[in-house]
Structures are given as C-alpha cells and as structure tokens.
Copies of this chain bind each other. A is one copy, B any other.
Amino acid sequence: MSASQTQNHAADLSAMDRMLSPRSIALIGASNTAHRIGGLLFANLKRAFKGPLYPIHPTEQEIMGVQAYASLDDLPEAADLAVVAVAAKMVPEMVEAAAAAGIAGAVVVTSGFAEVGEEGAALQEQLAEISRRTGIRLIGPNCIGYFNMHGGVMANFAITPDSPLPKAGGTALVSQSGGFGSYISLMAMRAGLGVGWFVSTGNEVDCNVSMVCRHLIERPEVKVLLACVETLRDPDIFIETAERAIELDKPIVLLKAGRSEEAARAAMSHTGSITGSADVLYAVCEQYGVHIAETMQEMLDLGLMFETGKRTKGRRLAVLTTSGGAGVLLTDEAAEVGLTVPELPAEEQAALEAVMPPPFFGSMANPLDTTAQIVAHQHAAVGIMEHLGKSPSIDMITCVTWDHTLDFIQALIDGDKGTDKPVSILCTGLVEKVSEAGTPLYLDPSRAVRPLGALARQSLDRPKVVKAPVKDEARIARMRALFESLEGRKVLMEHEGKQLFAEYGIPVTREKLVATPADADAAAAEIGGKVAIKYMSPELMHKSDVGGLRLGLEAGSVQAEAEAMLQDVARGAPHVALSGILVQEMVPARMELTCGIKRDLSFGPIIVVGMGGVLVEVLAEVAMLRPPFDADMARKVVASLCDGRIASARRGLEPAEIDAVVATVMGLGQMALELPEISEVDVNPVRIANGRAVAADALVILEGAEDAGHH
C-alpha cells in the first residue's frame, strides 16, 4: 500500500466510522405515518439512539415528537449519517445535498435502481458518480438498512419498532440481501445470538459486503463475523479482511448463495453481476481460514459457538449423555468433523463413577452414559462437569439430555462457566435458561457437535498470513525475452513451456530439442534409457494423429524412427513447418497428477493440482490455491487430495514425490505472481513413480490467445 493509499484508506475508514457509528443522524423522508417506511425507520431510530436525530420533512414541524427540518441546510451541524427513504427519482438529488452538507455517508433503503432495469440502472450510476466525486459513502440502494446496537443505531426497517431490541452482543451479520438478511438476523436472535451489528448492502453501489466486513473486523466489540453473499465484490478486500481475521483470531463464517450453475444464473439476473466460480471461492476461504456454512442454520450454529470467545487446545471430545443411543450418534458426528471421542483412562472413569449414586448402570468410558439416574442428583452432575472441566484427557464437552430439572441443567451451565473448555448443550426443557446463560444450545444432536469441529479448526488450524515473496526480476526479464521471441504467438511449444517450468524449479523430463534425425539419435544416447521423440511445430496441435510422436525408442534406432516420423507428418500435415525434434526421456508413472494455473473472474490466477492423466475429467479431483502461499500450505493442499488418501493409502505419494509435487505447485504460484501475462498453464500429466514427479508435457497460453486455439 503506498503512502497516499494509506491516507485514503484512513480517510475512508473515518468516513465509514462516521456513517456506521454516527454521533448524529438525519432521516431524509421521515414520516409521521407509522406503517410507512419513513415512519418505521424513524420509530426505530428513536428507540436506542442517544445523539441528536434530525428528521427531514418539507412541511411537518415535528416527526413523532422530534423537531423536523425542511432541508439539510437547516441542520445545526453536519450530521454523520443520512438515512434516505425517498422515492428513487429523488435519491440522487438528496445524496448530492447530503454530500454538500458534509454528511459522511448515506444509507439508501429505496428500491427501484439497478434491480428493475435500465432506467433504474441509470439512476444508480448517478449515485455512483456522486459518491466517487464527493467521497460520500453509500450503503444500498435497495437495502433494508443496518443496525449497530453498540452505538444505539437502528437505521433499518428489518425489525419492527414493537419487536424487542437486539442484544449488543459480539456477532456481526453482513448480508447482501436485505430480506434474507433480516430473516437471518431474526432467526439468529431466536437462537440466542447477540447480533450487535447487522448491515444489509443491497445493490452495493459503493459499500459492498467485503468493505463492510473489512470495517467491522477491526471493531473491538465484534467477536465473530457472519457474511451472506450472492456476488462477492472486491475479492482483494475480502482477502485482506480474512488476513486481519487471522491476525485478530476472529472467525468469519460465509454463507454463499449461488453455488450451483442454475442458482448463479438466478443470482446474475437478480444482482446483475457476473462472478467467479463458487469452487474457487470455497478454496480461497479454506486457504484463508474462513468458515463456510452450507446452510443458514449452520451459520447460526457456528456463530453461537464462536460468540462464546472460547478456544480449544485439542480435538478430544467428551460426550456426556443420559442415553447411550444419543452418545453413539454424537460420536459419529464427532468423527465426521475430525474430533475424537477417546476412552477415558481407568482412573478417571473410577473417579467419575465415584460421584454417581450406586449402583451405577451406565458407562464413564466416553461417551459417558450416566443414564437418566443423574437427573435427580445435582451433586453428581456438578461433580462430573467439574471433573471434565479439568480432565487432562479431553478438550471439549458436549452434553445431551432430554431429562431435565432446573438443578440438573444449572449444573451443566455452571460447568460451562467453570471451565475454559468449549461446551455445547442439547436439551429440550429450560431452553431459555441455557440460552440466557450464553451456553451454546442446539436442538439436533448433530448440530451440537459440528460447531465444536469448527471451533477446533479456528483454534488449531488457523493459517499463517503469507506475504507476497520477492520477485526475481532477472528471471522475469529472461521469460519476457522468451515471450517476445514468439513474435505474437500466444501458445508455447512443449519445449518452450518446459524451459519456463525449469526456471521456476518445476521438475521436468530430461529432453533436448534437435534439428535432424541424426542429432536425435545422439541426443537419445546422451539422455540414456528409453526415449520418446516428438515433432515440434507451433502449427501442429494433435501430433499423434499424424504420426508426430514415437514412444519407447532406444539410441541406435532413433534416427530411423525420426526420419519415418518426418515423412509421416509431411504426408499427414503437409502445411506444417518443423521447429525441431524433441527427444525426451520416457518416465514411468504409478500415478499421474495435473497441475496448472487458471484464471478466476473474481480472484485472478489460481493454482490447481489434481488427479491427472487421461481420467482427469472422470475423477474431477482437484484442489486450488491462490498465490501467494507458502510451502506448508502447498504441502497441506497436495496431501488433502482424495480425502488425504493420496499420501496415506497404499501406492499413494511417497515423501520425495510429495516434495516434487510441492515444488511444482510452488513454482506455478511464483510464476503466476511474476508473469501476469500468462493466462493459463497445464502441466498434465505430472508423471509420478520411484520418488520422482516430473512434468511430462507442458501447455502455456499467454494473454490474448484465442479461446479456440488450444483444445
């Protein structure tokens, strides 16, 4: 970030601060009619705001008992925030006036902009232009507003003025969709989350989900960020936010609508913007430690756990139940999210049994099945929770019961408060009591365990923030010279691609480009063992169709085969000119991988590694990384293929082979950063056997190539 950028950033932050944590608020379009949006908004604003409110109305003296002003010019000060709820056509004029009046930002709830066609889009472009020119920050249009309970700002009509006020808790919710976002915030409050912040971004003419998240992640009161997007705009800001979240250890949970192709089409028609692939977004989230929620429910479940602020030191879960059957189901769920339910040591089991009234018919092995016997014995419940809270054998606790008395549930809640280990509870009675106490409560056994898995990931697997590595300018110059030597050609020949690969430390086949069949034989002798010969020409795409490829040759027979090859190609593809004969070692393969660089519409160059060979499309098993990344991350991603079996299963990758694949992935990452003019790279196959992983082919395409050129 340059100095002037830093300054702008600070100015932006300060404008964002004024807009989202205002000291004074003007409502443009205020109304005395309670059920109109201008009435709902003002009634809401009045509920919790401690600073001055300035309702703007052309004729009324008062709005709901508060002095009204005919225009912004009449205000005693420049308000920090303007809420705009006038008809769409009047919005640009009002926003212009707000900017002129020194207002930092405006929340435009009005609909009728880009979502309704050309006329609306033109209106929205006016807003964009005003914001760019004057620096006024905008939220919306076509949003449902926001609330910031820490600042007492209820600048929204998501919540009706007669509903209870949200708690000023540690959860922040940011949603592109206003309607869906208000539903989520409602359900979140019902689930017991303290939604201290809710921002809906609507059409995102200026502020988008990424920007709002970037702002909120720095707020000290925000402990967890829930984001719900259809179209992720400003992916770089999203990544910067994720990196800050790593540094601050604040979890982000993302719910993405529009994963499937059909839904992406629906989202496109709905939000009017094209977006990158959902697979890439998910991979980026994984890389940057952002939690993905598959459903709204899962987002809320994770939020509830993260809001406790607790972290875990390990993955060992104690399952405490009054029913063996539930214990088994919870153990399944634990396994599914990477937690273990280890049997407790005999002495701990004995200690736990000792607190139960004899005779004890349950089990303290883990799952701990106390049977319903425990319900009437609070001291036993207290004793067990205390023991588990301190046990060196487990790291977190889930309690599942449908037998309940106040005393029993209280013992579980106290157990949670008395330990820094994370605790989740499933119970059917006294739900509000548990919820008020702040202990995460779930009504489905599966849901009681998954958030603990997410907490383990947040606590134990948080990635490092990787800074972009230094670029090798000399190498860049050499590569640019190579590209220039192509004289406009955009697709590299195999031997050119290999030269590029070698520069980036990607292991390639031993090979030599020669001019004549006689030279080919000499090259084969030099390479040793069996070789392949390939007819190189930029015009020849499918060389094996015309006999331009011979496999399994040995020195001595190569010259004759090369001559035959030249004749075959001359017959089969007479227009083609020979650039050279590539003589290449034959490498054995127990396994073939594919590596490469592809471009995502949102995130730019992405490194891909997957199961390769002829079955690449059948297997469709790939992992992705956004550069920059470090070797640990590359290794983790390579080893994650096939659910980790690529490294663990019989005939999987050996350590030296993993090293070579990691070198390939690292090389591609550096290449993507140094040479943005590369639009696509395919290293397929990477042939793997006997401790080697070698690029056996190379496809490199530069920007500006025609799509049809290479497949």
Name A residues whose Cβ lies closer than 8 Å to a Cβ of B.
Answer: 111-112, 115-116, 175-183, 186-187, 228, 230, 255, 257-263, 266-267, 269-271, 294-297, 322-329, 331-332, 334-336, 340-341, 361, 363, 365, 367, 369, 371-372, 402-403, 428, 443-447, 590-591, 611, 614-620, 642-643, 645-646, 649-652
Tell me which of B112, B186, B262, B294 contacts A335 (CB under 8 A).
B262
Listed A/B pairs (8) with beta-carbon separation below 8 Å: A187-B444, A230-B328, A257-B328, A263-B334, A266-B328, A297-B444, A297-B446, A616-B651
Query: Which residue on B lies nearest to A112, using beta carbons?
Result: B361
Decide: B270 and A652 in contact? CB cutoff 8 A. no
Q: Is the CB of A177 within 8 A of B591?
A: no
A444 and B295 contact, Cβ closer than 8 Å, known pairs A257-B328, A260-B332, A332-B258 = yes
With contact pairs A296-B445, A328-B230, A332-B257 given, residues A617 and B651 touching in the complex (Cβ less than 8 Å): yes
Q: Among the listed B116, B261, B295, which residue makes an inter-chain contact with A361, where contact means beta carbons less than 8 Å apart?
A: B116
Complex contact A326–B617 (CB within 8 A): no
Instruction: Name A641's closest neighbour in chain B (CB-CB).
Output: B618
Known: A186-B402, A257-B325, A270-B324. A617 touches B332 (CB 8 A): no
Contact of A651 with B444 in the complex, beta carbons under 8 Å: no
Bound-state Cα–Cα, A116 to B177, Å:
55
Report, nearest first, the 8 A-B pairs whose CB atoms are least far apart.
A177-B325, A179-B323, A260-B335, A180-B325, A263-B331, A295-B446, A617-B649, A270-B324
Indicate if the CB atoms of B263 and A328 lie closer than 8 Å. Answer: yes
Bound: A336/B257 CA distance, A: 12
Given contacts A179-B322, A179-B324, 9 further A-B contacts (CB under 8 A): A180-B326, A187-B428, A262-B331, A262-B340, A271-B324, A295-B444, A614-B651, A618-B645, A619-B619
Residues of B within 8 A of A361 (CB): 111-112, 115-116
A38 to B673, CA, bound (A): 76
State the Cβ distance, A590 to closest chain B Cβ, in Å.
6
Please name the residue on chain B nearest to A268 by beta carbon.
B328
**Interfacial chain B residues near A329, Cβ < 8 Å:** 180, 255, 257-258, 263, 296
Please state if B297 and A447 are interface contacts (CB–CB under 8 Å).
Answer: yes
| Number of this chain's copies in the complex | 2
**Separation in Å of the A164 CB from the closest CB of chain B?**
14
Which chain B positions have C-beta within 8 A of A325?
Answer: 175-181, 228, 230, 257, 270
Are B614 and A642 in contact (CB-based, < 8 A)? no
Alpha-carbon distance A620/B641, docked complex (angstroms): 12
Residues of B within 8 A of A447 (CB): 295, 297
Q: What's the minimum C-beta distance from A40 to chain B, rounded to whole angstroms?
A: 12
- The answer to whether A179 touches B257 (Cβ under 8 A) is no
Inter-subunit contact B402/A182 (CB<8 Å): yes
Q: Which residue of B lies closest to A339 (CB)?
A: B262
Contacts of A616 in B (CB 8 A): 651
Please report the C-alpha to C-alpha distance between residue A445 and residue B326 in the assembled complex, in whole angstroms: 26
- How far apart are the CA atoms of A294 and B295 in the complex, in Å? 15
CB distance from A658 to the nearest CB of B (A): 13
* A190 CB → nearest B CB, Å: 9
Question: Contacts of A446 on B, CB cut-off 8 Å?
Answer: 294-297
**Distance in angstroms between the alpha carbons of A575 and B587 in the assembled complex:** 36
Residue of B nearest to A341 (CB): B262
Given contacts A115-B361, A297-B446, A322-B179, contact A263 B428 (CB under 8 A): no
A16 smallest CB distance to B (angstroms): 23
Contacts of A270 in B (CB 8 A): 324-325, 327-328, 363, 369
Contact status B294-A186, CB under 8 Å: no
Given contacts A176-B325, A325-B230, contact A652 B617 (CB under 8 A): yes
Q: Nearest chain B CB to A432's CB is how many angstroms away?
A: 15
CB-based contact B186/A331 at 8 Å: no
Q: Which residues of B contact A328 (CB under 8 A)?
A: 230, 257-258, 263, 266-267, 270
Nearest CB in chain B: distance from A313 CB, A: 20
Output the nearest chain B residue to A614 by Cβ-Cβ distance: B651
| Nearest CB on B from A405, distance (A) | 12
Q: In the complex, what's the smallest C-beta–C-beta distance from A273 to chain B, in angstroms?
A: 12
For A327, give the chain B residue with the smallest CB separation.
B266
* In contact, A332 and B443 (Cβ under 8 angstroms): no
Picked from B183, B341, B590, B651, the residue with its CB within 8 Å of the CB of A402 is B183
Which B residues lie within 8 Å of A187 (CB)?
428, 443-444
* Cα distance, A295 to B329, chains bound together (Å): 9
Q: Closest chain B residue to A619 by CB distance?
A: B642
Give complex CA distance A618, B182 in Å: 45
Bound together, the chains give a CA A74 to CA B33 distance in angstroms of 78
Bound CA–CA A257/B445 (angstroms): 11
Residues in B with CB closer than 8 Å to A228 are: 325
